[in-house]
A and B are shown apart, each in its own frame.
Chain A
Amino acid sequence: MEKSVVCILCPKGCAIKVDMVKDTVKEVCGYGCIRGKEYAVSECTHPIRSVTGLVRVSNREYVMLSVKTDKAVPKEKIFDVIEKLNAICVDAPVYIGDIIQRDICGADIVATKTVL
């Protein structure tokens, strides 16, 4: 069976074709670079996504801390990550690059901005 994958790794958005037999990848074509090939294979076997989101700051009004997962998590875990983020509340100051929480669905949560 042939699957079509749009690579999301860069703005080119290559249309990649993956030839699958059952759950194994037979052939990949149409990728613009090697990262895209790997992405297409993972997309057809176990899709993953990086998640960006928001965390509340307890001691600042109307200020949100933007965060990201430090690596991609399984696609079906996106909402689990968001739910965990919704439950977190940090105290400012927080600095860009700070780890806010470890091991949420296998990834660490990292601050993407500084809140003084």
Chain B
Amino acid sequence: MLIEHNIVVIGGGPAGMAAAVAAFDGGEKDVIIIDREDETGGVLRQCIHNGFGLHKFGCELTGPEYAEIYRNKISERGIKLYCNTTVVSIDNSKTVVAQNRDGILKIKAKAIILAMGCRERSRGALNICGTRPAGIYSAGAAQRLINCYGLRVGERAVILGSGDIGLIMARRLTLQGIKVEAVCEIMPYSGGLVRNITQCLDDFGIPLYLKTTVSKIHGSKRLEGVTIAQVDDNNKAITDTERYIPCDTLLLSVGLIPENELSNMAGVELDALTGGAVVDQNRQTTVDGIFACGNALHVHDLVDYVSDEAEIAGRNAAQYCLRDGSFSTDAICITKGKNIKYVVPQRVDLRQKDNLAIYLRVDKPLGRALFTVKTEKEIIAKKLQIRAVPGEMIKIDINKNQIERVGSNIEISAEALN
């Protein structure tokens, strides 16, 4: 069955929902969302803790509450949802093939918004030696088992990785009566927000061991314990610091990877630094009419910023449809300079004379830092940041008057100030 819809949003998480709403409000009413789960909301469904929405709604919400706001916006607008439906392919002519219980769905779209989110790095990516017993979970999987299904994942746990999900899960396990013996972080600093270290670890006296990893896994059927060890400057375990911790559960919170198999199928150019698509300020990818946003584009630390970004993608996808594909794919590049891990967007279409917001992450903790945005000829913007750490995304605004003067590629760099 071939059907037609002007905008197809792939993924009904926070990005997909906000993008669909923005596209609708931007004047393109024929928008659909496809999601493989039985309900929209994505990862927010399992994030039962609070701290969402401060920036967007001025109050502290839990994940399910934040999702509910967007679910209501979607139903108020009558945006059509295809749940329990998996997109199996897309191509550069914007044909979406999806599958659900009713069979195969072929949709011809004018514009596609990629909002597939991200997935967790697994044990296989880490090369931890030892056996392969039960009891090793990615932190997000454990979060879902506990918060959505009410299952008990174990009795005594060690967590590897101190990103936000690892920290949040340390608290959740503790509250659910599971003893958390340690959180180990291979880097010399935590990748999570400081507030999460305070309220998830310090509140409960859970130790955080920096420059420490799990060097061995023990147990045959069920995990019996792990060996942890400090690492040297090459992240190699130092043997004489090894220590055995008995535990039946190991959570891995070791990074998130944007999900982009579909983007690849359509020939969308990916950025090796973000793991997501290369986009311009409209969040349009290198394939005309295909847009990307949310964690599929780059991993965010705050859902509020995901919503903001998705709104940009949604609005511009609507514009694209209404103006019948008049955007140019010809643009200048924004590249990372010293101390920068990545920048989004990577390209700027200079024909649009709007203020420009650039999002970036630093590649190591800099403390107080000065960011400089420069073209080949001159500096066009500077920003002083009180604290620049890799765990927190930084936004730099460039005034449209400055953009007008830009004729060449832009480079952003950061300098630590004492």
Q: Which of A17-25, A48-56, A99-107 is the contact stretch? A: A48-56
B68 and A62 within 8 A (CB): no
A6-B194 CB under 8 A given contacts A11-B301, A54-B150, A112-B48:
yes
A6 contact set on B, CB distance < 8 A: 194-195, 197-198
A50 contact set on B, CB distance < 8 A: 50, 60
Q: Indicate whether B203 reaches chain A with its CB closer than 8 angstroms.
A: yes
User: Looking at the complex, which one of B65, B149, B175, B392 makes contact with A96 (CB distance below 8 Å)?
Assistant: B65
Query: Which residue of chain B has its CB nearest to the CB of A15?
Result: B194
A44 to B48, CA, bound (A): 27
- Chain B, 182-200, contact with A by CB distance < 8 Å: what is the 0/1 string? 0000000000011101110
Q: How many residues of B contact A (CB 8 A)?
A: 30
Q: Indicate whether B119 reaches chain A with its CB closer than 8 angstroms.
A: no
A75-B203 CB under 8 A given contacts A8-B195, A11-B193, A50-B60:
yes
Q: Indicate whether B89 reaches chain A with its CB closer than 8 angstroms.
A: no
- Chain A, 69-112, contact with B by CB distance < 8 Å: what is the 0/1 string? 00000010011001000000000000010000000000000001
Number of contact residues on A: which range applies?
Answer: 20 to 34
Q: Indicate whether A114 reaches chain B with its CB closer than 8 angstroms.
A: yes
A52 and B49 within 8 A (CB): yes
A114 to B67, CA, bound (A): 11
Q: Indicate whether A41 reaches chain B with its CB closer than 8 angstroms.
A: no
CB-CB contacts below 8 Å: B23-68 with A: 45, 48-51, 54-55, 60, 62, 64-65, 68
Query: Which residue of chain A has its CB nearest to the CB of B200?
Result: A8
A28 contact set on B, CB distance < 8 A: none
User: Looking at the complex, which one of B50, B147, B150, B301 makes contact with A56 (CB distance below 8 Å)?
Assistant: B150
A75 to B175, CA, bound (A): 13
- Chain A, 30-63, contact with B by CB distance < 8 Å: what is the 0/1 string? 0000000000000000000111111010000011
Query: Which residue of chain A has its CB nearest to the CB of B64?
Result: A113
A66 to B45, CA, bound (A): 9
User: Looking at the complex, which one of B150, B193, B198, B392 makes contact with A64 (CB distance below 8 Å)?
Assistant: B150
B149 and A63 within 8 A (CB): yes
Query: Which residue of chain B has its CB nearest to the CB of A60?
Result: B150
Say how far A65's CB is from chain B's closest CB, in angstroms. 9
Q: Indicate whether B379 reaches chain A with its CB closer than 8 angstroms.
A: no
A62-B149 CB under 8 A given contacts A11-B301, A68-B62, A82-B175:
yes
User: Looking at the complex, which one of A15, A52, A64, A114 makes contact with B50 (CB distance below 8 Å)?
Assistant: A52
A8 contact set on B, CB distance < 8 A: 195, 198-199
User: Looking at the complex, which one of B62, B148, B197 makes contact with A52 (CB distance below 8 Å)?
Assistant: B62
B195 contact set on A, CB distance < 8 A: 6-11, 13
A64 and B64 within 8 A (CB): no
A29 to B163, CA, bound (A): 28
A114 contact set on B, CB distance < 8 A: 68
A49 and B50 within 8 A (CB): no
A79 to B45, CA, bound (A): 23
B45 contact set on A, CB distance < 8 A: 113
B150 and A62 within 8 A (CB): yes
A114 to B149, CA, bound (A): 15
Q: Indicate whether B302 reaches chain A with its CB closer than 8 angstroms.
A: yes
A49 to B195, CA, bound (A): 13
Say how far A69's CB is from chain B's closest CB, in angstroms. 10
User: Looking at the complex, which one of A7, A66, A78 makes contact with B147 (CB distance below 8 Å)?
Assistant: A66
Q: 21 interchain pairs (CB within 8 A)?
A: A6-B197, A8-B198, A11-B195, A11-B392, A13-B195, A13-B198, A15-B194, A52-B48, A53-B48, A53-B175, A54-B146, A62-B148, A64-B147, A66-B48, A66-B64, A66-B147, A68-B62, A96-B68, A112-B62, A113-B45, A114-B68
Which positions in B face A, CB cutoff 8 Å?
A: 45, 48-51, 54-55, 60, 62, 64-65, 68, 146-151, 175-176, 193-195, 197-199, 203, 301-302, 392
New A-B pairs, 10, CB < 8 Å, besides A53-B48, A62-B148: A10-B54, A10-B55, A54-B176, A62-B150, A63-B148, A64-B150, A66-B48, A78-B175, A79-B175, A113-B65
